[in-house]
Chains A and B, each alone.
Chain A
């Protein structure tokens, strides 16, 4: 059977466009941290971890509040930049039913270091000592990684790496069910 070369060229162009689209979407997701349709609306995996003040805390304890779930580590420079923002955002949006929950992914044996680090940065929100299992359940392999969860415990957004403060504010508003300023 003789094939028309134009058919093959068109098919190759479609395949190339689809591949480009896939890669572009993946990069965009990574850059903007938007949660793909597959993740958005899914229930955030529940966990129970020990807080720095020795309490056992479950993510589901915060049901009814919007949660910013931040995976960080003491050795992570970018984490150190955004944590003071979270302190401010906790103050600003806390009365509206918003909670920042930090999960420190250092070696759990380094709890004292984690506490010192958090104290030095004036952290005013819940800090939990993370485990690999919890990190794996959120597929966390870079730091910081931040999830935004709505009042019903559903995932709204995810951010990899340091982002601007305004990106966090938009996601917080979205998870609180407030109108978000249209992106320029």
Chain B
């Protein structure tokens, strides 16, 4: 009993604090583990990044319909000798929400995939490289919106040696030298 009473007091304090509980601050977007892409030196490859949005939330697509809305955008840090090319975004879904039934917003909800084109120069040494960046997004649910967030994103690429150029076999003269 001596241990139970302080325990109950602790629970009472916890109950009081939950009444002042701040509203959800946790990130609503997460990045699924990215399989290591293998790209030969001098060639380009696209790395797919799969993001998941917590159920009940949405974020603006890369091309929202209003100039005031914050587009979802991935910014990848520049690296030496590995060129970051085009970043491709999926089309958003036109959806209307309880707070604005007459207006359709172009959003991502659920899962979406962003492609990052990576092209290592021929001079890059073969091996694994970490690419880092940030996904900027701004989430809302049916009644409220959350401040824009920058979510750190990182993925590895394995740069493999470029295939050796096909050796030209010097043609043998069919005519025997005399």
Contacts and interface: CB of A to CB of B under 8 A. Distances in A.
Contacts of A178: none
Contacts of B22: 139, 141
Contacts of B73: none
B176 interface: no
Contact of A29 (B4, B8, B14, B19): B19
B53 to A, nearest CB: 16
Contact of B11 (A19, A36, A77, A141): A19
* Dominant secondary structure at the B interface: loop
A30 interface: yes
Interface in A53-76: 73-76
B127 to A, nearest CB: 40
Interface in A99-121: 105, 113, 117
A78 B144 contact: yes
Interface stretch (B75-83, B84-92, B145-153): B145-153
B41 interface: no
Contacts of A163: 143
Given A77-B140, A78-B144, A143-B145, A160 B23 contact: yes
11 contacts: A18-B15, A22-B19, A38-B19, A38-B20, A77-B97, A77-B105, A80-B100, A113-B68, A141-B22, A142-B23, A162-B98
